[in-house]
Structure 1
Amino acid sequence: MTASTRTHNENATVKGVRVRGEETKPSFKTTELVVYVLAVIGVLVASYTVGDGDANNGSDYFAADKAWWYITLLTIGYMISRGLAKAGSRSSDVDPRTH
């Protein structure tokens, strides 16, 4: 294939065959990551501010173990959402061991 038959468009047509680019963005460019990071920060801030009570009297309503449990759940949710986003995408990896 020569350079003259190829266009620079992501969904270019090369000799009648439609070439598809990657369907999803890298994770650092998505709003999913921004929402995830903000949610984790929110859980940590809420745990810090609500957990000002005396832990010996049982008045610590949002203890660190609960905060980390919620962060774990957020992480699992984020990983599932990225997995679903990548499920139908094509890889641009040229390593023959991964095919």
Structure 2
Amino acid sequence: MATASSAGYPESGRSRAARAERHASTETKPAFKSTEFFVYVAAVVAVLVASAVVGSDASRVDRFPADQAWFYVTLLTVGYMISRGLAKCGSREPTDHTTAT
């Protein structure tokens, strides 16, 4: 038997907490908790350090100029964004109910 709410509309057998709990999930874990984030940061640092360390040769030609290094950083960023998009695509992680709200 359905009970009437204060507004006079019938309520289903489930409580509001049970209905809210059904949607209590995040899409994926935060990006800074993933290994791909740390790999991305390490790769960016490695590219920038390599560009700074690799200097000019005897003929004063810079073998790894800054614009080329920033191009590689841009490619790494695009790859990271695509990997995060694929990771978030359709995956779910349950919400942790142990933390206080």
- Shorter-chain-normalised TM-score: which range? 0.5 to 0.7
> What is the CA-CA distance between 1:2 and the residue it aligns to?
6.9
> What is the CA-CA distance between 1:59 and the residue it aligns to?
2.1
> What is the CA-CA distance between 1:89 and the residue it aligns to?
3.2
CA offset digits 1:9-56 (Å, max 9, x no partner): xxxxx8xxx878335211011111100000000000100111x216xx
**1:70 aligned to 2:72?**
yes
Aligned match of 2:82: 80
Q: How many residues align?
A: 77
TM-score normalised by structure 2 residue count: 0.63
Higher Cα Rg: structure 1 or 2?
2
Q: Which runs of 4+ in 1 moved over 6 A?
A: none
Residues 1-99 of structure 1: pairs in structure 2 closer than 5 A: 1=15, 21-22=25-26, 24-50=28-54, 52-53=55-56, 57=59, 59-89=61-91
Q: Distance in 2 between matches of 1:19 and 1:28?
A: 24
Counterpart of 1:88, as a letter, is G
Corresponding residue SS for 2:47: helix
Q: Distance in 1 between matches of 2:51 and 2:32?
A: 26
Give the RMSD, CA atoms, in angstroms.
2.9
Q: Distance in 1 between matches of 2:16 and 2:66?
A: 60
Q: Which has the higher helix share?
A: 1
Counterpart of 1:47, as a letter, is S
